[in-house]
Structure 1
Amino acid sequence: MAERDSRTVRDLRRGNRARVLQRLYFDGPLSRQELGPATGLSSGSISNVVTELAAERLLEEAGVVDSDGGRPRTLLRVAPGGALLIGIDIGETRVRVELFDLSLTELARTERLLAQHGHDVERIVAHVRTGVAHVLRDAGADPRELLGIGIGVPGIIERDGPEGAVVHGQTMGWTAVPFERLLRAAVDVPAEVPLFIDNGAKTLGQAEMWFGGGRGAGTAAIALIGSGVGASVIRGGEGGTFDETRHGSALEWGHTTVQLRGRRCRCGSIGCLEAYAGAEAMRERWQEADGPLPADADDETALAALLAAAFPPPGGPAPDQVAVSLLDETAECLGAAVADLINLFLPERVLLGGWAGLQIGPHLLPDIRRYAREYALRHTGARATVEMGRLGPDAVTVGAATLPLADFLARGGTRPMPPPPVDEGARTVPGGRTPTERWAHTPSPALETKP
């Protein structure tokens, strides 16, 4: 007996809306006629979905194009002003908060430095609270227009417990921090605005896959090199296109071993990649080599000085050979670790990002590529390219904002709604759906009748 299709009318409607929104978001502007083959939906379904989404201010006209002898065709696009998103980067040196419209155009931003107080949890929660309030105020934005807040953090994220996302960040002293619960209690936004917390390297990777150097790739490995080191592997849909089933993994790449009996890493182990390629470790190594640095130089100042010593401008002093040797060791460690990514995950592309990665990349990328080829298997190494990320220092915040955006697109543009009152500990409501699914706004029907 053929298996019965368990999809409901609501599932079909949401799926149709999701197809249209996703195609317009990533490939638009498009006409109604172009949306048919792009989504696989009938012209009637396209018409119904477009009418609904336009009525909800999620689509708008974007001009007209001539057709072959027929009437001009109206182009459609996702309306940038249809909703708001917040992306937050909780990094090693600062907390950055940015407010975006639906096209991920920045509307406001604020930053809080962490040098003085480090990663004290209560202080970081306070930075997030004030940062969210400030960007909403500076843009004159209504928090009820928020689709969600995405947050990229260092460390391992667990989500299965009753307190939501819990962060294990060993290098910053976080052990089982109930971060989602703390933020929900502190941040002044409506209760229906969801929080999406993930590893910062993964949010960086998703941003690069959607809008940067990974766009079009089936699989890419993206390195985040800052004071610490992390990475993610993101797998795209068929042919590298956007797909709501796209998934990725954050990797503790910085704590893979590149040197037996090597330097002590701040995680407590020895020989980690981060102990050689992280900006904090490069600063320490440069100081140990008596590099000309003030004793209180921060990681960014120290890295800039190290690069200037190794790569002086034309007509300047001769390169400092100690700095040159230190950076060559860094490039070899990174190249060997990139080869591990290539051999293990078979990516088509490897991208280097993060604030420190963006600084060292223009100088070290040729050597990193050379060492990666030497350490990788010939076949896997030949099919992978090693490039710089393209989105700059804001890539983590952009990627964090894509977390609520991806959820919004996958739900077909359904906006968050307040959860209904349910019994303590109840996980579902009548009908077998979660509370958010059961009571979410349901637009008028727009069904594709084909199975």
Structure 2
Amino acid sequence: MSNYSAQQSSISENNRSRILQYLYHNGICSRAQIAKAIGLTPAAITKITAKLLAQNIIEETGDMEGDKNRRSIGLNLNCGKYHVIGLKFARSLVQIGLFDLQCNRISLTDLPTVSEENIDETVKQIHNTIRHLIAEDEKIVAVGMAVPGPYLVAEGHTALVSSMQGWRKVNFIKEFSEAFDVPVFVEQDARAGALAQFLFNPELFEGSLAYYLLGEGIGLGIIDNGTIYY
């Protein structure tokens, strides 16, 4: 892919995300309302929403009153169409949750407490649990994992853990990136927390923010003008 094509793809992805984010926070909206709110042209909104409608990510909700008493067609997230799996590593705790597109929790599974001696067994349980969920629910389209940091994104493993040193031996990319029939995304827990606040907190959905995660260690995630800072 050329640099120009990659740049255009990134812009398109960002615009799709902004539309979905706006619908998440505001509920049913017309195309004109979305265009005005996020600064895209009506033509661009029509093109992007047509693709989202074709993928059943959003749905039309019928007529609604628009500007100057014009009739508009409402759009809304089709929250029940797709599900995602979220997995949280916290050294001795591993939780696996299933969510819809509105972030409503469908189920939550706590794996047995992790010790230094059974990390390999925990990794196997993660594989089995996620495979079972995917087999039972055809709506699942992705898996997201939040792992303890500092997490080396390019290398796939944790550089330093204050306890449970065995996690440093796990390469999350090799273990999970191609283990399932859906895409898998792995991120440091504090950066994942920062991104979640940026996307889902209506007071923090633009600009920059710092997110501190205080637990068995201290983590920091930064959003710099809408982009995760590495």
In the alignment, which of 149, 172, 187 is matched to residue 164 of structure 2?
172
1:148 aligns to what?
A: 142
Pairwise CA RMSD: 3.2
Write out per-residue CA displacement over residues 404-448 of structure 1, whole angstroms, 9 at most, x where no aligned residue: xxxxxxxxxxxxxxxxxxxxxxxxxxxxxxxxxxxxxxxxxxxxx
Q: For 2:224 and 2:76, how far apart are their aligned partners in 1?
A: 23
Contact 1:89 1:151 in 2 (8 A): yes
1:59 aligns to what?
A: 58
1:247 aligns to what?
A: 228
Runs of at least 5 residues in structure 1 that lack an aligned partner in the other structure: 238-242, 250-451
Q: Which amino acid is 1:223 matched to? A: Y
Correspondence 1:200 to 2:192: no
Q: How many residues in Structure 1 have an aligned counterpart in Structure 2?
A: 225
Q: For 1:60 and 1:114, how far apart are their aligned partners in 2?
A: 41
Write out per-residue CA displacement over residues 310-342 of structure 1, whole angstroms, 9 at most, x where no aligned residue: xxxxxxxxxxxxxxxxxxxxxxxxxxxxxxxxx
Q: Counterpart of 2:4 in 1: which secondary structure?
A: coil
TM-score after normalising by structure 1: 0.43
Contact 2:192 2:221 in 1 (8 A): no
Q: Counterpart of 2:159 in 1: which secondary structure?
A: strand
Write out per-residue CA displacement over residues 387-418 of structure 1, whole angstroms, 9 at most, x where no aligned residue: xxxxxxxxxxxxxxxxxxxxxxxxxxxxxxxx
1:261 aligns to what?
A: none
Structure in which a larger fraction of residues adopt strand:
2
Q: Counterpart of 1:160 in 2: which secondary structure?
A: coil
Contact 2:197 2:205 in 1 (8 A): no
Q: Which amino acid is 1:150 matched to? A: G
Q: Which amino acid is 1:131 matched to? A: T
Q: Which amino acid is 1:247 matched to? A: I
TM-score after normalising by structure 2: 0.78
Q: Counterpart of 2:137 in 1: which secondary structure?
A: coil
2:22 aligns to what?
A: 23
Correspondence 1:38 to 2:37: yes
Write out per-residue CA displacement over residues 8-56 of structure 1, whole angstroms, 9 at most, x where no aligned residue: 8963755654443343344443211112223433323322322222122
Q: Which runs of 4+ in 1 moved over 6 A?
A: none
Write out per-residue CA displacement over residues 65-104 of structure 1, whole angstroms, 9 at most, x where no aligned residue: 4345523333212211332211101113321001111222
Contact 1:59 1:79 in 2 (8 A): yes
CA 1:100–1:119: 2 relative to 1, 3 Å: farther
Q: For 2:6 and 2:197, how far apart are their aligned partners in 1?
A: 35
Larger radius of gyration: 1
Higher relative contact order (CA 8 A, sep 6+): 1
Contact 2:153 2:187 in 1 (8 A): no
Q: For 1:36 and 1:214, how far apart are their aligned partners in 2?
A: 20
Write out per-residue CA displacement over residues 151-208 of structure 1, whole angstroms, 9 at most, x where no aligned residue: 11223222334xxx122343211335322212357x4x21xx2222222222223323
1:352 aligns to what?
A: none
Map 1:20-419; keep pairs closer than 5 Å. 20-62=19-61, 64-67=63-66, 69-114=68-113, 117-118=115-116, 120-136=118-134, 140-142=136-138, 145-161=139-155, 165-170=156-161, 171-174=163-166, 175-184=168-177, 187=179, 189-190=180-181, 193-212=182-201, 215-216=204-205, 218-226=207-215, 228-235=216-223, 237=225, 243=226, 246-248=227-229
Q: For 1:91 and 1:40, how far apart are their aligned partners in 2?
A: 40
Runs of at least 5 residues in structure 2 that lack an aligned partner in the other structure: none
Contact 1:110 1:134 in 2 (8 A): no
Shift of 1:57: 0.5
Q: For 2:117 and 2:36, how far apart are their aligned partners in 1?
A: 50
